[in-house]
Amino acid sequence: MAEAVSMLYPTPRIRVQAMKEYHPPLGCRDALRLDFNENTLACSPKVREVLGGISAGSLTRYPEREPVEAIVAAHLGLAAPQVALTNGVDEAIHVLFEAFLEAGDELLLPVPTYTMYEVYASATDATVVTVQAADDLKFPFEQLVAAMTPRTKIIAIANPNSPSGSVATRAQLVEIARRAPHALVLVDEAYFHFYGETVADLIGTIPNLILARTFSKAYGLAGLRLGLLAGPVETMQWVRRVLSPYSVNSLALACLPPAFQDTAYLDWYVGEVLAARLAFENAVDDAGVRRWPSQANFVLVEIGAGHVEFTRRMREAGVLVRDRSSDPGCDGRVRITIGTREQMRQAAVALNQALAALRTGSEAEC
Ligand SMILES: Cc1ncc(COP(=O)(O)O)c(C=O)c1O
Cα of 190 from ligand 1 centre, angstroms: 6
Instruction: Work out which ligand 1 atom sits closest to the CA atom of 161.
Output: 1
Atom of ligand 1 at shortest range from CA of 92: 11
Q: Which residues contact 27 (CB under 8 A, 6 or more apart)?
A: 33, 35, 36, 320
Q: Strand 152-158 to strand 106-111: parallel, antiparallel, or no bridges (unpaired)?
A: parallel
Question: Which residues are registered as beta bridge partners of 155?
Answer: 108, 185
pLDDT of residue 24: 82
Amino acid of residue 249: N
- DSSP at 216: S
Q: Whose CA is nearest to atom 7 of ligand 1?
A: 89
The CA 37 to ligand 1 mean position distance, Å, reads 9
- Whether omega for the bond prior to residue 163 falls within 30 degrees of 0, making it cis, is yes
DSSP 8-state symbol, 59: G
Identity of residue 176: I
Distance 211 CA to ligand 1 centre (A): 13
What is the Å distance from ligand 1's center to 93 Cα? 10
Hey, which residues does 203 pair with through a beta bridge?
206
Instruction: Identify any residues that bridge with 211 across adjacent strands, giving them in sequence order.
Output: 187, 230
Closest listed residue to residue 166, CA positions, set 194, 130, 208: 194
State in Å: Cα 227 to ligand 1 middle: 9
Ligand 1 atom nearest 88 alpha carbon: 10
DSSP-derived letter for residue 9 is -
Distance from the alpha carbon of residue 209 to the mean position of ligand 1, in angstroms: 19
Q: What are the distances in angstroms from CA 48 to CA 196, 215, 253, 316, 334?
A: 26, 15, 13, 32, 33
What's the pLDDT at 1?
56
Instruction: Residue 112: name the closest of 298, 273, 342 by CA.
Output: 298
Residue 262, SS3 per DSSP: coil
Atom number of ligand 1 nearest to Cα 226: 10
Choose the residue to mutate in 35, 139, 162, 225 for probing ligand 1, maximizing ligand atoms within 8 Å of C-beta: 162
Q: Which amino acid is at 6?
A: S
**Which of 34, 37, 89 most suits a substitution to test ligand 1, by most atoms within 8 Å of the C-beta?**
89
Predicted confidence pLDDT, tens digits, the chain (366 residues): 566 777 889 899 999 999 988 888 877 768 999 999 999 999 999 999 999 999 999 999 999 999 999 999 999 999 999 999 999 999 999 999 999 999 999 999 999 999 999 999 999 999 999 999 999 999 999 999 999 999 999 999 999 999 999 999 999 999 999 999 999 999 999 999 999 999 999 999 999 999 999 999 999 999 999 999 999 999 999 999 999 999 999 999 999 999 999 999 999 999 999 999 999 999 999 999 999 999 999 999 999 999 999 999 999 999 999 999 999 999 999 999 999 999 999 999 999 999 999 998 776 665
Q: What is the pLDDT of residue 28?
A: 72
346 sits in which H/E element: helix 341-365
Distance CA 151, CA 108 (A): 10
Pocket of ligand 1 (CB under 6 A): 37, 88-90, 114, 158, 162, 188, 190, 214, 216, 222, 227
User: What is the distance in A from the centroid of ligand 1 to the CA of 105?
Assistant: 24
Nearest to 87 by CA among 252, 321, 208, 242: 252
Predicted confidence at residue 7, as pLDDT, reads: 85
Nearest to 227 by CA among 244, 210, 215: 215
